[in-house]
Structure 1
């Protein structure tokens, strides 16, 4: 069947405004910007390589690297982003050139005067340094306004005001205030503020990964992923929308921005969805949800994975390992939502270009998976053998082997039609066969394979891994067209080599221009991080949330989630994560510990990251949803509301993995346990999608939808049912602590219920978990102080805290002098909560039976 084309929209303009700035320049102005962008990319590649040490040229420390990195970003921000929507876009005003030069000068002040800046650290700053710092901050905020809009600027100004007005703030958030001298040094002349960790990660990791994605897209991988996804899923009901989910996952994994993903992949996927029956609002909402989920999908996670590794203090490999299952489950939930929407709308099923029987499809799938798995395992063994046999020469042999593999993949592709760029406005007749598309573009997977191999197998650093991947794309871009022409027996002329070189240069330029907004956002986020570290705001947030939550851990999680959504509104992925993590992560960990809940730090950081991203679909500042609405030509508010509902499946996951870290592969005891966690989570996502969409095997009644949502949540944490019936702990008198510790041999965990005054003089209670250890024969007092740093004495029915070891368990847990330990909690032997999955599955089966019965009765009536 033929489906009419959707109305067109100015997609190129949307991409230009969202990714590259709004100016459409020609002539010398265009060449100037291209030159600056190209120089920036070459500079970043230089400092990431070993060349500075080989040639003893341009060896820079972290501070100087960050300063030059920001100088390039500010220069491009003022040259490419107009001051206002009405500003001229066919040229660069003189004022913008002046602002560009001043901004670059403020960044290079530290580069030129590095020794004197360091020597005066902690002392009085000069008047010139005050001028440089405040001019730099002002221009940074102006560049942020142009590139990102007002939300980030407003947040930055609020934090700057808070730094100076601390003594005049309400008591609960007051502080001494920063002097002009300290503020200047902290924010601009040290690595605590603008030039701190966020900008360091931007310079060291994020730029290279954004460049990797840009070069890969320039080679044609983005179009390849979209067409492959459509070939795999386009024949299903609602196939184009399902293809959008998969293609956005593939491109979003290596993208640094949800909004960039929306306006790039959305230009192809949204028209396809509209042409098979999705309303413009739903098509836009599906693309937005897919793109946001792309930011939580390893290996890149919108570049937040690298920041998370730095903040949490674990390896990058551990971050992406913990993040994978929740991301996969969330994507699967969106896939289910799309399927349900297609069923509800009775959408047409597109015909395949080539049809196979069910048995043929199964056998082809098994053969393909087996072949790919065998090739992957064979390559693993081969590379391991090369390392063992060739030793120091293994790198040369590996490069030669990869070159041979690349030529072989090009040679395989000659049997299939070359992949052309799809026209999203053309009539849609049949779904192309997936296998020819897959085999025709195997060379696009090679750079991704290099990246994943270096990260996951060799465990190289993220920077070194992506450097090798970028090098492989260089080769791909330069040689792809001539080799394809040779494989297809076409003439190979100088024009093909020149075209490849032009694609390479264009990719370097576009990568740098794509990075402009990200780098500016990271620098602006450094203001927030700097103020938090200088004023102790993180500690104050702990008290604020504790006061508002009234001692309820669940309410505390809701408040944290809400504040993350508000703080993340209008911010790109990386800046979003930095802001919410800097303000909310540590208070979350502290408050969880006070409730006796040991939450892994990675779970907390993923919690705040997820909710920060969900701000992209939350009105009134739903920037991701509004971008999707612009592509879909739909109502922005309705699009954002639908995307918000679709995002609820992602919103429940953080609550679950905080309380059940097994979803993050933490505390998984066996393969059986892992299978149970993953299986129940997948079923939960299917049921949750059915409950929120009001459709399972038939249109659901209201009570059925409500039951399905509750069952889905309980499937993700079955222990919640058991907790309501039988609490996991029972209380014992405080003095039992002395009996437990007396003569203790070995190690045991104890939970203490304590009460005392906080810094504000209010009486609060908290749960403290201590790990006690003894060698047998020691007194209770010795065991408590030696292992937990706690000194106590009886005080009626309670125990009074009389001594605390500095940095001991008790002090870290929040106990203080003169606090009272009121009770001791011990674990209760209970049945395994996983047994409760059986009645939950029975409830699901009952609802399925009811709905199938209704469908059968309707069929009989007809």
Structure 2
């Protein structure tokens, strides 16, 4: 009897806390607070909701759970109460600051391990070890001058560049609102329309849900312009469908992460980094949109091909392809007649209009949310108080996992910023590449990824664009091309471990191992690493040239990228001959898709390698079929 009452009370408390997390994010939009205090308040709500929702295995685990719950109140409550004083004590913390800061780092490691698994906790611990002992490494391996305990704890805990840094700010200001928007879109039928249209086009077999994830992410990306928003909006529907047809958790999350990472490269929205580009270059918004169209299309086409290939021929070759998902396949006509089309187009139209007129991203999301709620009223998918309540609770539930991940990212980012790792390595790479365009491009790409560990992708783009794009232009590259290259490189950090925010978000939905998810997403998202190099050497991909040239170059690049995808997809095959064939495909496809078209011998060599690599694979696929 007592156990049932306790379980009911825990369930109700969990629901109230999840609701409070969402409501606080909405309240913060209207009444933002002091940066440290508002982020600490979100962290306190998230950690409290997480530990309250845990089911202890025994009385000892329950005692630790209560202790961690109380420790969360102490750690984050201390920041809230002293938010205005703590920044002035950075570098000269008192004994209480140090003790509470150490407890905070410990609490975050515990929460991350319990919530997201050992992978992220281990990566966070490695960065902490580097922060404490990196002075013993040589400079060329990233060695730093060393820091005292007081300096480390004060930087991580007392200011807004560490634990309470950009990751928590992005979680509160942007991720939360996009997550709530995604749940609202679900409740008013917009995502039912997207998924119905995807099912009508791709079917409901084993390859259907993964391809639905790719298509839905492309469609949602036209509205959200956000990788994280894309994951939350489409992943909540596509990942469970992929799991239903037998796709393992890590692969399902990786497919969604790779697909959603195309959200910021898919016109027309493309995220707020594009507006930084417009200001820096003084170009028209439409010019950037037109230039970005073919690269984004290539990305999703090759991603869809790689996903289809992995699922149908590599992931489960002995299982039947016609697997039921529990959903009938609708016709295209019935999908287009779904009332969710109205709410989807409303969200798309409002976001495009507001962002095109340079309205703040938060304001645009809130207005789009209000518009969706309003236009749904005359239809059968209308919003009701129960639906709105459920949307807020579901949003809060997922925001808890994301907030805990962002706390860990704060430790990683603080390490990168304090040690100077984010600027030290890029500077070395630029020195190594003097006068060599391909090498400079590679160094620039790596610099963006390294910077992406410490700051948001849009800021990483801006810094590298200011520091490196001029050098790229001096070597003969158009200014817009150079900035788009840096833009793609900065966004690649979203699926590149150890940070890989998109993989974190998808893994939290799928309850999968983040580390495996991140590397799978990076492999599937291969076009994001190659496409920017391709359009630097082939400006036809940016809509420069005649129609025939643009079509021919796009087709050639697509074939090369598809060959690389084919080589990477089946890399798990253990035979030596199959491995050699795939190496030929990866190298040959890269040579076909990236180098300048005037280097005919390179194209010929790459084509030959592709033909050598594809022959045995086609024979193997035919035998399997």
Listed one character per residue, the Cα deviations across residues 815-836 of structure 1 (whole Å, up to 9, x for unaligned) are xxxxxxxxxxxxxxxxxxxxx8
Pick the aligned partner of 2:20 from 33, 39, 42: 39
Structure 1 residue 467 displacement after superposition: 0.8
Structure 1 residue 128 displacement after superposition: 1.8
Pick the aligned partner of 1:463 from 362, 367, 378: 362
Question: 2:574: which partner in 1?
Answer: none
Q: Cα–Cα, structure 1 residues 663 and 612, in superposed 2: closer, same or farther, change >3 Å? A: farther
Question: 1:436: which partner in 2?
Answer: 334
Listed one character per residue, the Cα deviations across residues 284-322 of structure 1 (whole Å, up to 9, x for unaligned) are 898555413322222599xx976967999979x899958
Distance 1:269 1:630 in 2: 13
Question: 1:183: which partner in 2?
Answer: 152
Question: 2:260: which partner in 1?
Answer: 295
Q: Which structure's relative contact order is higher, taking Cα pairs within 8 Å and 6+ residues apart?
A: 2
Q: CA RMSD in A?
A: 5.7
Check the 8 A contact 1:164/1:177 in 2, yes or no. yes
Distance 1:93 1:147 in 2: 16
Pick the aligned partner of 2:8 from 27, 30, 34: 27
Matches within 5 A, 1:443-592: 443-475=342-374, 479=377, 483-484=379-380, 500-542=384-426
Structure 1 residue 647 displacement after superposition: 6.8
Question: 1:103: which partner in 2?
Answer: 72
Distance 1:38 1:320 in 2: 39
Pick the aligned partner of 1:424 from 322, 325, 334: 325
Pick the aligned partner of 2:590 from 681, 690, 713: 713
Unaligned regions of 5+ residues in structure 2, if any?
A: 571-577
Question: 2:532: which partner in 1?
Answer: 657
Structure 1 residue 221 displacement after superposition: 3.6
Matches within 5 A, 1:752-771: none
Distance 2:292 2:455 in 1: 15
Pick the aligned partner of 1:610 from 488, 492, 496: 492
Residue 162, structure 1, aligned to residue 130, structure 2? yes
Structure 1 residue 504 displacement after superposition: 0.5
Question: 1:367: which partner in 2?
Answer: none
Check the 8 A contact 2:302/2:527 in 1, yes or no. no
Q: Cα–Cα, structure 1 residues 664 and 155, in superposed 2: closer, same or farther, change >3 Å? A: farther
Unaligned regions of 5+ residues in structure 1, if any?
A: 1-23, 53-58, 275-279, 351-421, 486-495, 569-573, 695-700, 726-835
Q: What is the TM-score normalised by the length of structure 2? A: 0.71
Structure 1 residue 180 displacement after superposition: 3.1
Check the 8 A contact 1:309/1:319 in 2, yes or no. no
Q: What is the TM-score normalised by the length of structure 1? A: 0.54
Q: Cα–Cα, structure 1 residues 87 and 581, in superposed 2: closer, same or farther, change >3 Å? A: farther
Distance 2:361 2:294 in 1: 21
Listed one character per residue, the Cα deviations across residues 484-508 of structure 1 (whole Å, up to 9, x for unaligned) are 29xxxxxxxxxx98xx211101111
Q: Cα–Cα, structure 1 residues 262 and 580, in superposed 2: closer, same or farther, change >3 Å? A: same
Q: Cα–Cα, structure 1 residues 105 and 240, in superposed 2: closer, same or farther, change >3 Å? A: closer
Structure 1 residue 660 displacement after superposition: 3.3
Question: 1:73: which partner in 2?
Answer: 46
Question: 1:224: which partner in 2?
Answer: 193
Check the 8 A contact 1:662/1:668 in 2, yes or no. no
- Is the partner of 1:114 in helix, strand or coil? coil
Task: Identify, as 1 or 2, the structure richer in strand.
Answer: 1
Structure 1 residue 132 displacement after superposition: 2.2
- Is the partner of 1:124 in helix, strand or coil? coil
- Is the partner of 1:424 in helix, strand or coil? coil
Listed one character per residue, the Cα deviations across residues 401-421 of structure 1 (whole Å, up to 9, x for unaligned) are xxxxxxxxxxxxxxxxxxxxx
Distance 1:194 1:626 in 2: 20
Q: Cα–Cα, structure 1 residues 102 and 544, in superposed 2: closer, same or farther, change >3 Å? A: same
Residue 62, structure 1, aligned to residue 35, structure 2? yes
Check the 8 A contact 1:226/1:247 in 2, yes or no. yes
Matches within 5 A, 1:675-754: 678-686=554-562, 688=564, 712-719=589-596, 722=599
Distance 1:233 1:70 in 2: 41
Aligned length: 581
Q: Cα–Cα, structure 1 residues 137 and 611, in superposed 2: closer, same or farther, change >3 Å? A: closer
Structure 1 residue 576 displacement after superposition: 10
Listed one character per residue, the Cα deviations across residues 693-726 of structure 1 (whole Å, up to 9, x for unaligned) are 89xxxxxx9999888766643443341762978x
Q: Which moves more between the two structures, 434-443 or 506-515?
A: 434-443
Q: Cα–Cα, structure 1 residues 423 and 33, in superposed 2: closer, same or farther, change >3 Å? A: farther
Structure with the greater alpha carbon radius of gyration: 1
Check the 8 A contact 1:156/1:527 in 2, yes or no. yes
Structure 1 residue 140 displacement after superposition: 1.9
- Is the partner of 1:155 in helix, strand or coil? helix
Distance 1:123 1:342 in 2: 53
Listed one character per residue, the Cα deviations across residues 54-80 of structure 1 (whole Å, up to 9, x for unaligned) are xxxxx5233332222222222222223
Check the 8 A contact 2:534/2:593 in 1, yes or no. no
Structure 1 residue 511 displacement after superposition: 0.4
Distance 2:511 2:348 in 1: 34
Distance 2:354 2:538 in 1: 22
Check the 8 A contact 2:354/2:364 in 1, yes or no. yes
Listed one character per residue, the Cα deviations across residues 643-673 of structure 1 (whole Å, up to 9, x for unaligned) are 95x9756325413414634789997646757
Check the 8 A contact 1:227/1:437 in 2, yes or no. yes
Check the 8 A contact 1:528/1:579 in 2, yes or no. no
Distance 2:341 2:89 in 1: 54
Structure 1 residue 530 displacement after superposition: 1.7
Check the 8 A contact 2:534/2:557 in 1, yes or no. no
Structure 1 residue 206 displacement after superposition: 1.3
Listed one character per residue, the Cα deviations across residues 80-130 of structure 1 (whole Å, up to 9, x for unaligned) are 3457xx468xx9935424422331332232332234334x34563222222
Structure 1 residue 134 displacement after superposition: 1.8
Question: 1:806: which partner in 2?
Answer: none
